[in-house]
Amino acid sequence: MFSEETLAELWASKAMSDVIVVFSTEPEAVKAAAEAAAEQAEEQVGATRGRGRASRGRGRGRSTSPANGNARHKGVKRSADEDEVQWPEGSVVVSAHRVVLCSSSDYFKAQLLNDSLVLHKPLHLPQPDGSRLRVLVVGVGAQWELDVAERVLHLMYAPATTTQLQAQPWVLLQACQLAQQLQAPAVVKTCAAALAATPEQHLSLPFDSQVLCLLDTTSHAVDVPGLDDLKSLCTKHADSMLDETEGVAGKQATLAQVRQLAELQPSQLHITLASKLAALLDALEAGGELQRHLKQHAQLQALCQGSAMQHLGDAAVVANSAQLLKQFRRLHLSLLKHWVATDEVATDGSENCVVWLLDAWHEEQARHAKTRPQKDKLAEDMAALSALVRVRRLTPSFLHAVLPGIAWFQPARLLPLAAAAQAAGALQAPCAKVLGHEHLADKVPGIPKAWVSSPARTGVSAATPSVLLAVSKDRLEQAVSEAVQAGKKEEDKQKLCSEAAVVQGFSLQASLEVVPDVKAAGRARIVIKVGCAKVPQRRFPTTLCLVPTKYTLACMTVKGKETTLSATYAVMYDDRNWRHVWDNTFGVGSVSSASELAKCMQADQLQATVMWKEVDGVAGSALWQVVE
């Protein structure tokens, strides 16, 4: 686009700048100020147009500070041509060029090139020559974002200037974080490369935490040399500071860094450090040293809980992410109890995924419980967690057929009573208004109140109850050719792709296969198979679960139109891995070449979306039985 020298000159001179970027903690106030200035400018431009008193370049020069065209505003006025704009105090205003912003940042590109994606009406400041200066408002939530805002935009013009920040790892980290928010991959990569050279003496618990959070969320720096070493270094440093729970109260350096963590936001505290910090707080409390050494203990505890909700607050998303699931399995018990008890946990419509995740956590803890006291302690912990599960919010099949078989869920003897009350509608309105949710808990000793009286969780999951199957045109052509040559044996099938997802506590699996057509020589069928694979650990390995299930398949047909197929079954859900098979899904029957499916393809891919949902209100089809 431009040479490095040209970009450096554009940044320094602000010549031909056509955008003003305003960073502020008060974005609405910025918009109001810009709109008011625009109205005033319209009147003044009309009065001055034709008199030639102000050129666009001179006007823009007046709208910036004399030194470099950028300014941090402390309640002072800033002119835009004949206008005086009163930006909110503390705002950072930077003049820039549309072409540079669009080429460097996907965020700015969407704002500048696609007005339909802008949540508010695009803001402009009219100029005397008839042009309009675009105003971009970037809302930020912290002072550090304002501190590095201008520097991040400078890096879009001059990436080489990161070398000047080698001795300032905190600035590099913050610039990298803001660039990540602005979706500026080149800046993220440049900052991350410089950050990777951070020496060990610059490490601290707040720095470790934010580096780990950044590396967990960015995909722009995966191939930057040295970042894995930095991640390992930060992890080891944090472990050395937080893992030594015995006698840690005497280490002032450790406690000083722990106190610094209280200044972080929940999103900045990595979930691994949150778990270790929660363990440290528990150890200090058990030793009677918490109040004396950490006056911020309540703030730190709330920070840990906030981190757990920030990173793991969507149960369905966690269940379908290998990285998040690994972090959930290692969650400290106190944070897990808070997580299960919180209304804000997001689910995919039922409590099933919550139980599924608790089973995953139990499985991880059971691996480390080797002695009898450890096993007894784990059973105690699981009983406490079981008491927090909202049993009345489970789906019928999970409640009647899956939950009774989970060995750690206690008290098992009272579960049939809660299930029967749920099936009879005694826990639903209007019966609940007459009997009262507390009535059952009060009259039956030992039954947890959460089982019968807790409201539905308020969070709505961002996860979709579906899997996407996609095969490239070339791969499909190869598979069809091989299937045609294989002859008439259905055993010669080829599985082109297979995807899995956890939906309402059940593991959905779907696959797209090419199978030789036994009825037509030289042709092959495209088959989609879908079914369930795994339930949480059960007491009896020979149990069956019949789940009234609706499968839905969406794809393009050979006529170039989108179609939706659906089928409802009482699925036998056990270790036999029952599957439903869709044949002739794309409306073409068998094929001899992938070209016959051209109209079914999108972006040179054959795609199909499979959705799975338990049918509501069919409790009678969900049975718990033992196979002889």
**pLDDT tens-place string over residues 433-472:** 444 555 555 566 778 888 887 888 998 898 887 888 899 9
**466-626 in CATH: which number?**
2.60.210
pLDDT of 500 higher than 60 = yes
Cα-flanking dihedrals φ and ψ of residue 584, to 5°?
55, 40
Q: Which residues have a Cβ under 8 Å from the Cβ of 47 and sit 6 or more positions away? A: none
pLDDT of 572 higher than 90 = no
Spans of all domains in the chain = 4-162, 466-626
Q: What is the pLDDT of residue 70?
A: 57
- What integer is the mean pLDDT of 249-262? 81
The string of DSSP codes covering 59-122 is: HHHHTS-TTTSEEE-SS-EEEETTEEEEPPTT-EEEEE-HHHHHHH-HHHHHHHH-GGG-SSPP
Give the DSSP letter of residue 14. -
What are the tokens at 346? 């997001």
Cα-flanking dihedrals φ and ψ of residue 28, to 5°?
-65, -35
- What integer is the mean pLDDT of 197-213? 90
Q: What is the pLDDT of residue 604?
A: 86
Average pLDDT of the chain is 79
Between residues 534 and 291, which one has the greater pLDDT?
291
Between residues 176 and 72, which one has the greater pLDDT?
176
pLDDT of 564 higher than 90 = no
Q: What is the pLDDT of residue 553?
A: 77
pLDDT of 62 higher than 50 = no
Kindly report the length of the chain. Answer: 628
The pLDDT-based confidence of 108 (bands split at 50, 70, 90) is: very high
Q: What is the pLDDT of residue 426?
A: 61
Pairing of strands 524-532, 543-556: unpaired
Strand order in the sheet with 70-72: 70-72, 92-96, 19-24, 132-139, 123-126
- What integer is the mean pLDDT of 279-289? 81
Helix (H, G, I), strand (E, B) or coil at 370: coil
Helix (H) and strand (E) counts in the chain: 25, 19
Minimum mean pLDDT range among 90-99, 185-194, 536-545, 596-605: 536-545
Between residues 205 and 399, which one has the greater pLDDT?
205
Minimum mean pLDDT range among 278-287, 384-393, 533-542: 533-542
Contact 523, 368 (CB under 8 A): no
Residue 69 φ/ψ region, left for φ over 0, alpha for ψ in the -120 to 50 degree band, beta for the rest: left
Residue type, 283: A
- What integer is the mean pLDDT of 114-121? 60
- What integer is the mean pLDDT of 302-322? 95
Q: What is the pLDDT of residue 105?
A: 93
The pLDDT-based confidence of 56 (bands split at 50, 70, 90) is: very low
Between residues 121 and 368, which one has the greater pLDDT?
368
Tell me: the pLDDT tens digits for 342-380?
A: 999 999 888 999 999 999 999 999 999 999 999 999 999
Give the DSSP letter of residue 314. B
Distance of CA 305 to the CA centre of its chain: 17
The pLDDT-based confidence of 99 (bands split at 50, 70, 90) is: very high
- pTM here is 0.79
Q: Which residues have a Cβ under 8 Å from the Cβ of 618 and sit 6 or more positions away? A: 396, 548
Residue 50 φ/ψ region, left for φ over 0, alpha for ψ in the -120 to 50 degree band, beta for the rest: left
